[in-house]
Amino acid sequence: MPHLLNVWPSVSRKLSGASRVLLLFDYDGTLTPIVARPEIARLSDETRRLLSLLAGMDRFVVGVVSGRGLADLESLVAIPGLAYAGNHGLEISGAGKDFVHPEAPAFEETLAEVASLLVQGLAGVPGIVVDSKRLTLTVHFRSTPDSYSEQVDDTVVATARPYVDAGRMKITRGKKVVEVRPNIDWGKGKAIEQIRKNCGDSPLPMFFGDDETDEEGFVTVQDAGGVAVYIGGTRQNTKALHQLESPQEVAQVLALLTQL
């Protein structure tokens, strides 16, 4: 898996040959470093400046595709003209259209129930965050001692089991997070397809992500002839064909993109 900066001349030629490019980014671990608590993950001034510059260029459509709730994502990024996809794409704003997956609102009450049960069930675990995001929920344990990790996962699984067994919910995992999501055939890959469709001219897609939930986005982008970039140390099981080490290197690529 080549490092993107090492093969930038060939990648930049591919991007320059496209009439427009759809630039999409995960947020946590991609545009910002992974931090202990989700509310303190902030864009650097330079990354914000470069995203704003790219968003103002006619040749780019820029967006963020995240597991965060849409309102939270829009508030954190707060750059006009971007496409925002929250809750793994169950809700999208910008790029010419507002979208909520038609099946998702029916799960809100059940997710609120599960969140309430998890707040009670995990009350004794230090550093835990139960983040109820209306259409999904995430249990963060990045500030929790590693000795509690199995307990956290077991509690989420046991609490959600009746809903999972009934076919209503599914559990996904990431970096020190466990998520409970509606059992809908929808994720970041479908969200990327939706945003690209909304553009009207099928721009060449490029997607940057760092976690398991980004993998279907990588497949979607590469199947469309675009460029998928995994952020982190070399990982053998990623489907992305390019790699960067860190959000700092993502910022380097943003600067190079402004020069295309």
Q: Which residues are catalytic?
A: 26
257, two tokens: 């993109």
CA dihedral 12→13→19→20, nearest 10 degrees, is -10
Residue 28 neighbours by CB under 8 Å, 6+ apart: 34, 35, 38, 41, 66, 67, 68, 210
Q: Could you tell me if 152 and 141 are in contact, meaning their C-beta atoms sit under 8 angstroms apart?
A: yes
Q: Please state whether beta strands 129-132 and 137-140 pair in parallel, antiparallel, or not at all (unpaired).
A: antiparallel
Residue 150 neighbours by CB under 8 Å, 6+ apart: none
Question: Phi and psi for 137 in degrees, rounded to 5?
Answer: -140, 150
146, two tokens: 């590693």
Question: Phi and psi for 138 in degrees, rounded to 5?
Answer: -130, 135
**CA atoms of 16 and 28, how far apart (whole Å):** 28
Q: What share of the chain is helix, strand, coil (3-state, %, to 5)?
A: 45, 20, 35
Would you give the DSSP letter of residue 3?
A: B
* Count of all residues that appear for the chain in the document: 260
